[in-house]
Amino acid sequence: MKTIFLLLLTSSAVFAQVRINPVIKNYGGIFDIPYAEEKPDPTLDYKIIIEVERLIEYPDSVNWALNNVARLLNLHVMAGVKPEKLHVVLVIHAGAAFIVMNNEAYKARYKVNNPNLILFDELEKAGVKMVVCGQSLIARKIDRMKLVPQVKIASSMLTTLTSYQLKGYAVLKF
């Protein structure tokens, strides 16, 4: 019986890892995997453009895609990539365009505060460039004067995405 107890205690300690947040302190928590054989190369410059399009499922919760961007940054830095070697651009469009509304506009639409405001600030401080598709704003009747200040307007997601691809950016879609 004592052996089983020790085995259970030891195995639970192995799985009791704590999430860490090396860059984006309040979001995108990750686990260190020191035994991983495949890791990011810290000598590379990472040029990444991320298409964010998911419709808001829960207006009172942080957008899944934005949190995943925080995870991406935290994972790379944990692996030894210096933050200045991460060149990340978000192009937000479609149903996700509603997340870029300032708190006043967001609250008028969803009856809750915009839960993404702190994350937008942290992403900007980490050097992430964020744009929203102007086509999506017009199609969804989102007032361009009521956006969070960290997000700029692009003429379109399509032209932004193709331009960055031609500049050598890897494309991800969240």
Instruction: Please report where in the chains the tokens 């107890």 appear, as a residue.
Output: 5
Count of CA atoms in the C-beta half-sphere (13 A) of 136 = 26
Name the CA dihedral angle for 58, 62, 67, 69, rounded to a multiple of 10 degrees: 90
What are the residue boundaries of the structural domains of the chain, listed by start? 2-173
42, 75 Cβ separation under 8 angstroms: no
The whole-number pLDDT of residue 72 equals 98
Backbone torsions φ then ψ of 148, nearest 5 degrees? -65, 145
pTM score, whole prediction: 0.89
Query: Mean pLDDT over residues 158-172, rounded?
Result: 98
| Mean pLDDT computed over 58-83 | 97
Does residue 107 come out as left (phi exceeding 0), alpha (psi in the -120 to 50 range) or beta? Answer: alpha
Distance separating alpha carbons of residues 78 and 75, to the nearest angstrom: 5
The DSSP H or E segment spanning 172 is strand 170-173
Convert the pLDDT of each residue in 91-105 to its tens digit: 999 999 999 999 999
Please write the tens of the pLDDT for every residue from 72-90. Answer: 999 999 999 999 999 999 9
Would you state the pLDDT for residue 15? 60
Would you tell me which CATH number, out of the four given (3.30.230.10, 3.40.30.10, 1.10.3720.10, 3.40.1260.10), belongs to the domain 2-173? 3.40.1260.10
